[in-house]
Amino acid sequence: MTLNYCTHPTPLGELLLVTRNSALVNVGLPGQQIEPPHSATAGAQDTGEQGTGTHDTGEHLGAITQQLDEYFSVQRTTFDMNIDLSETTDFRRAVLEHLVTIPYGETCTYTQVAEAVGRPRAVRAVGSACATNPVPIVIPCHRVLRSDGSLGGYAGGLDMKRALLELEQ
CATH value at residue 126: 1.10.10.10
Together in a domain, 68 and 120? no
Inform me whether the pLDDT recorded for 59 exceeds 80.
Answer: no
In this prediction, residues 6-32 reach a mean pLDDT of 92
Inform me whether the pLDDT recorded for 11 exceeds 60.
Answer: yes
pLDDT for 2 equals 79
Catalytic residues: 141
Together in a domain, 61 and 111? no
pLDDT for 35 equals 55
Confidence of residue 3 (pLDDT cuts 50, 70, 90): confident
CA atoms of 71 and 78, how far apart (whole Å): 8
Answer whether residue 81 is part of any domain.
no
Answer whether residue 79 is part of any domain.
no
Provide the domain limits for residue 111.
Answer: 90-167
Together in a domain, 65 and 94? no
Together in a domain, 112 and 160? yes
pLDDT for 4 equals 86
Together in a domain, 159 and 122? yes
Together in a domain, 38 and 102? no
pTM: 0.85
What is the strand order of the sheet 2-10 is part of?
Answer: 23-28, 13-20, 2-10, 52-55
Answer whether residue 85 is part of any domain.
no
Together in a domain, 11 and 51? yes
Our count of domains for the chain comes to: 2
Together in a domain, 96 and 132? yes
Inform me whether the pLDDT recorded for 57 exceeds 90.
Answer: no
Together in a domain, 64 and 96? no
Answer whether residue 82 is part of any domain.
no
Answer whether residue 61 is part of any domain.
yes
Inform me whether the pLDDT recorded for 83 exceeds 80.
Answer: yes
Answer whether residue 78 is part of any domain.
no
What is the bridge-based pairing of β-strands 108-109 and 144-145?
Answer: parallel
Confidence of residue 56 (pLDDT cuts 50, 70, 90): low
Answer whether residue 84 is part of any domain.
no
Mean pLDDT across the chain, nearest whole number? Answer: 87
CA atoms of 146 and 97, how far apart (whole Å): 19
Inform me whether the pLDDT recorded for 62 exceeds 90.
Answer: no
Confidence of residue 159 (pLDDT cuts 50, 70, 90): very high
Radius of gyration in angstroms for the set of CA atoms belonging to the chain, rounded to a whole number? 16
pLDDT for 31 equals 79
